[in-house]
Amino acid sequence: MQAAIDGVKQVWTAVLTSTLTTVLVFLPILFIQQEAGQLYSDVAIAISSAIVASMILSVTLVPLLAAQFPPPLKKQNMDWADAITSRAEKLYKHRGRSLTTVGITTVVVVGIWWWLMPPAEYLPEGEEAKTFATMSAPPGYNLSTMSNIAKEIRAIFDPALVTENTEVKRSGLTIPALKTISYSVQPTSSPKPSPR
Partner 1 sequence: MENYLLAVAIVYLLMVAIFAHWGHPLLIMTTIPMGISAGIAGLALLNGIGLFQQPFDMITMLGFLILMGTVINNPILVVERTLFLKKQQHCSVQDALSGALKSRIRPIAITTVTTLCGIAPLVFIPGEGTELYRGVGTIVMFGLMGAAIVTVTTLPALTALFLRSKLSK
**Interface with partner 1 (CB under 8 A):** 11, 13-14, 16-18, 20-29, 31-32, 34, 36, 39-40, 47, 78, 81-82, 84-85, 88-89, 91-93, 95, 97-99, 101-102, 105, 108-109, 112-113, 116-125
Distances (CA, A) of 64 to 2, 4, 5: 11, 7, 9
Q: Which has the closest alpha carbon to 59: 97, 8, 132, 23?
A: 8
Closer CB to partner 1, 112 or 149, in the complex: 112
| Partners of residue 147 on adjacent β-strands | none
CA distance 9 to 3: 10
Nearest distance in Å: CB 3, partner 1:
14
Whether 143 and 185 have beta carbons less than 8 Å apart is answered as yes
Closer CB to partner 1, 125 or 164, in the complex: 125
Q: Are strands 167-170 and 173-176 parallel, antiparallel or unpaired?
A: antiparallel
> 3-class SS at 123?
coil
| Partners of residue 173 on adjacent β-strands | 170
> 3-class SS at 36?
helix
Nearest distance in Å: CB 112, partner 1:
4
Nearest distance in Å: CB 97, partner 1:
7
Closer CB to partner 1, 21 or 186, in the complex: 21
Nearest distance in Å: CB 89, partner 1:
6
Nearest distance in Å: CB 134, partner 1:
31
Closer CB to partner 1, 51 or 156, in the complex: 51
Closer CB to partner 1, 39 or 64, in the complex: 39
